[in-house]
Structure 1
Amino acid sequence: MTITQLYYVLAVAENQNFTKAAEKCFVTQPTLSMQIQKLEDELSIQIFDRSKKPIELTDVGRKIVTQARNIVNESYRIQDIVDQQKGFIGGEFKLGIIPTIMPTLLPMFLKTFIKKHPKVKLKIEELTTEEIINRIKDGHLDAAIAATPLENENIKERVLFFEPFVCYIPKEHRLHTNKKINISDLDISDMLLLEDGHCFRDGVINLCKAFKNHEDDKFQLESGSIETLVKLSNEGLGMTLLPYLHTLDINDKEKENLHYFIEPSPAREVSIIYHKSELKMQIVEALQDVIAGIIRGAIAFQNVKIISPLPNKR
């Protein structure tokens, strides 16, 4: 049994196709198939049910894939140990960022990070929290930036900053004349929300439900982007809540519609998250240092109350 064989097994399990797996592993399909067959012969079992289209794992194959993933990840630790011993910060690093953080935070730190750590090759993807958790678990992401806490036993979290919620209230709205907003003033029925699947949406719902009981929530409108929510609010379709960093980019006229909460301000906790195996920690720490250094000058709020990003949490 070899690490390479286990790596090939993981590739086939992911792609459910020998040809696609071979392409991902940069080997010929016969080579990959032969190595997997040798492993199956050695173990005297079938890892894959080749009669199914697409190929499926057998019952024992699923257990083997789980263990193979642990072994392959641990094998990467050897190079990781060497890199850390040498103080080397470089190589490919796959980073996921949730959609409500990507457009504001990434432009703030990316150029600085690249300049400070030119040997790191960042591969960045915009992904939902659910996608991020699955990809970290499967070893397809090295780390991610997301709203926390996630309460996942396989994932570790390092807090980067706390980002307050800010109300965006058009002039026609009942709360527009309020200088400061109390959480109890909010009513989910006139709130514009992001589409299902966004953790910021879940945070807003959790915030409102902390003070109001709604057996049958009805939302006027839901959208896929925060920018769209602002435009819809400008049309008088309701108020919305924005992450603080999004408020820095809106124009002066729209800033007249911003209203802050009475302290402690509701806020989301934003963290860099990674697998509990703690691979490539030197790059995780480098990202943390750069982002923390930049964000200190952008967010001055101290008295905040963290709102859970998890559905049905308060």
Structure 2
Amino acid sequence: MTITQLYYVLAVAEHKNFTLAAEKCFVTQPTLSMQIQKLEEELDIQIFDRSKKPIQLTEIGEKIVEQARSIVNESDRIKDIVDQQKGYFGGDFKIGIIPTVMPTLLPMFLNNFVKKYPKINLIIEELTTDEIIKRLKNGQLDAAIAATPLEEDSIKEVVLYYEPFVGYFPENHPNYHKTEIEIDDLDLENVLLLQDGHCFRDGILNLCKNANQIRSNHFQIESGSFETLVKLADEGLGFTLLPYLHTLDLKEKDKLKLRHFKEPRPAREVSLIFPKKELKLHIIDALRSTISGVVKGAIAFHNVQIISPLQKK
């Protein structure tokens, strides 16, 4: 049994296709298939059910993949130990970012980071919080940027910034004429929300503490993007709440429709998160330092009330 064989098994388990797995491992399909077959012969079991399309893990195969993932992750840690000891800033670094943070934060820090650490190959994916937690736990991500706290024992959270919620009200809405708003000013029957699965949506529901009341007698509108929510609000279909950084890119005429909450302002906590056993801490610290350096000039709110992204039962 070799670590290379385990890498191949994990690739097939992920892609459910021998040809695609071989491409991802940069080997020929016959080579990959032969190594997996040798492992199966050595163990005297079948890891994959090749009769099904797509290929599926057998019952024992699922257990083997779980253990193989642990072994491969631990083997990768040996190189991480050496890199950290040498202070080497290089190699692949896999990071996930939630959709409501990615479009505003990534352009702010990516160019600076790449210029400062040209040998680090950032592999960035836009992922939901649930998918991020799953991948951090199984070793498919080195770190992530998400709304916190998440209350995960195996994951460490380092706060990057606090981002207030900002109301966006069309001219025909009563709150348009206010200078500041309060939570009680929100008409829950007309709030426009992101689709289920977005932690910013869950934050709004937690802020209002009335998730079961957010229904309309006429319609219920949910969207996958803030841009769509803003356009719907402009059409007089309701109002929405936006994260502060997103408001910076609005047109000047649209910024007139923004209303901040009275202090302490409800806000989300955005953190750099990573497994507590993560060894690439020098890269994580470099990432944290770069992001903090660019964000502190854009966000300077201190008197805030942190709204949890966790769904309330």
TM-score, structure 1 as length reference: 0.92
Letter paired with 1:257: K
Describe the shift of the 1:233–1:109 C-alpha distance in structure 2 as closer, same or farther (beyond 3 A): same
Letter paired with 1:239: F
Find the counterpart in structure 2 of residue 281 from structure 1: 281
Per-residue CA deviation, residues 144-192 of structure 1 (Å, 9 max, x unaligned), is 2111122334433221111110111122112222222111222221111
Find the counterpart in structure 2 of residue 214 from structure 1: 212
1:52 Cα deviation from its structure 2 partner: 2.2
Alpha-carbon distance in structure 2 between the residues aligned to 1:32 and 1:75: 20
Letter paired with 2:149: P
Q: Which moved more, 1:42-51 or 1:238-247?
A: 42-51
Does structure 2 retain, via aligned residues, the 8 Å contact 1:142–1:279? no
Alpha-carbon distance in structure 2 between the residues aligned to 1:52 and 1:234: 50
2:125 matched to 1:159? no
Q: Kindly report which structure 2 residues correspond to 1:183-262, keeping only aligned pairs within 5 A, or say none.
A: 183-208=183-208, 210=209, 212=210, 214=212, 217-218=215-216, 220-262=220-262
Does structure 2 retain, via aligned residues, the 8 Å contact 1:146–1:273? yes
Does structure 1 retain, via aligned residues, the 8 Å contact 2:13–2:57? yes
2:301 matched to 1:306? no
Q: Which moved more, 1:42-51 or 1:62-71?
A: 42-51
Does structure 1 retain, via aligned residues, the 8 Å contact 2:188–2:213? no
Describe the shift of the 1:158–1:216 C-alpha distance in structure 2 as closer, same or farther (beyond 3 A): closer
SS of residue in 2 equivalent to 1:176: helix
Alpha-carbon distance in structure 1 between the residues aligned to 2:224 and 2:200: 11
Does structure 1 retain, via aligned residues, the 8 Å contact 2:189–2:213? no
Letter paired with 1:192: L
Unaligned runs of 5+ in 1: none
Letter paired with 1:173: H
Alpha-carbon distance in structure 1 between the residues aligned to 2:284 and 2:195: 30
Alpha-carbon distance in structure 1 between the residues aligned to 2:54 and 2:154: 29
Per-residue CA deviation, residues 57-107 of structure 1 (Å, 9 max, x unaligned), is 122211111111011011011111111111111112222222211121111
Per-residue CA deviation, residues 183-225 of structure 1 (Å, 9 max, x unaligned), is 12222211111122211111111211x2x47357346422221
Alpha-carbon distance in structure 2 between the residues aligned to 1:60 and 1:213: 42
1:282 Cα deviation from its structure 2 partner: 1.8
Q: Which moved more, 1:181-190 or 1:31-40?
A: 31-40
Percent identity over the alignment is 68
SS of residue in 1 equivalent to 2:103: helix
Alpha-carbon distance in structure 2 between the residues aligned to 1:102 and 1:41: 45
1:134 Cα deviation from its structure 2 partner: 3.2
Q: Which moved more, 1:271-280 or 1:224-233?
A: 271-280
Letter paired with 2:212: H
Per-residue CA deviation, residues 246-304 of structure 1 (Å, 9 max, x unaligned), is 12122222222111112111111111122343142221111101111111111111111
Describe the shift of the 1:24–1:112 C-alpha distance in structure 2 as closer, same or farther (beyond 3 A): same
Find the counterpart in structure 2 of residue 291 from structure 1: 291
Does structure 2 retain, via aligned residues, the 8 Å contact 1:149–1:308? yes
SS of residue in 1 equivalent to 2:212: coil
Unaligned runs of 5+ in 2: none
Find the counterpart in structure 1 of residue 119 from structure 2: 119
Does structure 2 retain, via aligned residues, the 8 Å contact 1:161–1:269? yes
1:28 Cα deviation from its structure 2 partner: 2.1
Describe the shift of the 1:228–1:136 C-alpha distance in structure 2 as closer, same or farther (beyond 3 A): same
How many pairs align?
311
Does structure 2 retain, via aligned residues, the 8 Å contact 1:95–1:122? yes
Does structure 2 retain, via aligned residues, the 8 Å contact 1:17–1:55? yes
Find the counterpart in structure 2 of residue 70 from structure 1: 70
Describe the shift of the 1:213–1:221 C-alpha distance in structure 2 as closer, same or farther (beyond 3 A): closer
1:117 Cα deviation from its structure 2 partner: 1.1
Alpha-carbon distance in structure 1 between the residues aligned to 2:181 and 2:169: 10
2:11 matched to 1:11? yes
Alpha-carbon distance in structure 2 between the residues aligned to 1:54 and 1:246: 40
Find the counterpart in structure 1 of residue 170 from structure 2: 170
TM-score, structure 2 as length reference: 0.92
Aligned Cα RMSD in Å? 1.9
Alpha-carbon distance in structure 1 between the residues aligned to 2:279 and 2:232: 43
Does structure 2 retain, via aligned residues, the 8 Å contact 1:98–1:126? yes
